[in-house]
Amino acid sequence: MKHYIALTKPRITWLILMSTGMGYYFGLTGALNLWTLFHTIAGTGLIASGTAALNQWYERDADARMRRTVRRPLPSGLLTPRNAFLFGALLSVLGFAELGFGVNWLSAGLGLFTLLTYLCVYTPLKRISPVSTTIGAIPGAMPPLIGYAAASGTLTAEAWVLYAILFLWQFPHFYAIAWMYREDYERAGIKMLPVVEPGGESTVRQMLLFSILLIPVSLAPRYLGMTGNLYVAGTLAAGVAFVAACIRMSTDRTFLKARSVLLVSVIYLPVLYGLLLLDRRHS
């Protein structure tokens, strides 16, 4: 069972559910319905887990050529491809049904869109073009929309601001990973930007650009009346720290500097979400 659990990438699923919960919280217009929240988290968790399992099934050959993934259940032979595919498909169907029948069909449709774009567009594109990172950020930022739609049955400017924050955050985060493991990606034939452009100029330029864009976008909740000034101060400080880490990497493109950006990005998102929760303004 632990090998099947590993297919679901629990650490990533936790982040997805945290983002879904934020969307749900800001989508509430009345009293909290714990039963609806349960269905939202369960359904999103099942779809996310199914997507992760199907992704590993699809990329099992590439994973076998990378040091960081060679010990995963499929390349190591701990699970058969057939069983992994059936497991992932079952989780995905159950997640879609859980959202559709337990919450609403808007959230279920958003979940299905996330799965299809991730598996059918982003995953195969990784072996063709570095634009895959941009395409992958589209389904990657969907969790807040799913949560918001589950709570309110609609999508408003507030929902799209949460989406935009997560969308922009992904670029410095994933480019840092891509730089750290660029040799692995090259062995697997995955066309990440640091593989296609080994010098790193384009990579650090993108990281710096998106970290800078993240600052004004992350302040938008204040001007939509979602938060107060405490959120603005905290998020501005976190955003400046994020940009500073990217600047340091732009002048010294090493593994350690990329790891520093990765660590800052991992801290940044929970800090921002914590500030959103702490300083929410109720309409």
Per residue in 190-249, pLDDT (tens digit) is 999 999 999 999 999 999 999 999 999 999 999 999 999 999 999 999 999 999 999 999
Percent of the chain that is helix, strand, coil (3-state, to 5) = 80, 0, 20
The 8-class DSSP code of residue 78 comes to S
pLDDT of residue 55: 97
Rounded CA separation 259/264 (Å) = 9
Query: What per-residue confidence (pLDDT) applies to 283?
Result: 52
Mean pLDDT, the chain cut into blocks of 10 residues (283 residues total): 94 94 93 92 97 96 93 94 97 98 97 97 96 96 98 96 98 96 94 93 96 97 94 97 96 94 96 94 65
Alpha-carbon span 250 to 5, nearest angstrom? 37
pTM, whole model, 2 decimals? 0.95
**What local confidence, expressed as pLDDT, does residue 281 receive?**
80
Going by C-beta distance under 8 Å and a sequence separation of 6 or more, which residues neighbour residue 83? none
pLDDT reported for residue 119: 97
**For the packed helices 157-180 and 201-223, what is the interaxial angle rounded to 10 degrees?**
160
CA distances from 277 to 27, 231, 241 (A): 13, 9, 21
Find, among 224, 227, 246, the residue nearest to 235 by Cα.
Answer: 227
Domains detected in the chain: 1-155 (1.10.357.140), 157-283 (1.20.120)
